[in-house]
Amino acid sequence: MKRVLLIRGSAREGSYTNAIADRALAAQEGIEVTAFSPYEAVFAPCDGCNFCETAGRCRHDDLTDLAREFETCDVVLIASPVYNGGFPAPVKALLDRLQVYYTGFYANGKRPLIAKHRRVVLLAAAGRDGNRALRVMADQLRDACSVTNAEPVGAALCPQTDGVPAPETTCETLCELLKRSLTDEEANR
């Protein structure tokens, strides 16, 4: 059984990202999904205190279960709206908390920090065309995951949700990305 960690970046009723993510995940065989909503969880944003640089861990223990899931799952799916050209603040706050791995890698010399190679898939929805935002989000994701042994492998975009979106097409793209991430042997190296 492969394990998927789903980060729900929208708390909106009728959310496209939630609907597309749920449909694409339901189409995958033999997976177990753990969902995490940064809107429901209470966690501190990283404030750059550098405690982790000397202690080797975050001074907050509010994301312990999520960290375990992140480190041991097979695929991370981040389903996120575009807000003002990038990730909504709660999702970005979550990405910033990956800083503990960065300092672990560079300041504490714990290399490699996470033994298991995982894949990261991004799903985004945008009111307008969303292409510039998707590039920003993909870059931020790559930076945040840089030393976590979690490899961003691709993104599916549902544009024009303010107008006439085509969520079915996005769902097909996402299904393909998930299928490849879950079955490709390279994902388990």
Ligand X SMILES: Cc1cc2nc3c(=O)[nH]c(=O)nc-3n(C[C@H](O)[C@H](O)[C@H](O)COP(=O)(O)O)c2cc1C
Contact residues toward ligand X (CB under 6 A) are 10, 12, 15-18, 81-85, 125-128, 130, 133, 161
Minimum Å gap between C-beta 8 and ligand X is 9
- Phi, psi (5° rounding) for residue 180? -65, -40
Which of 39/106 has CB closer to ligand X? Answer: 39
Say which residue the tokens 């672990």 belong to.
Answer: 104
Measured between alpha carbons, how far is residue 22 from residues 4, 86, 117, 131, 174 in Å? 12, 22, 24, 23, 11
For ligand X, the nearest residue by Cβ is 81
Alpha-carbon distance of 104 to 116, in angstroms, equals 16
Contact 108, 129 (CB under 8 A): no
Which of 83/105 has CB closer to ligand X? Answer: 83
Minimum Å gap between C-beta 75 and ligand X is 19
Minimum Å gap between C-beta 13 and ligand X is 9
Minimum Å gap between C-beta 57 and ligand X is 33
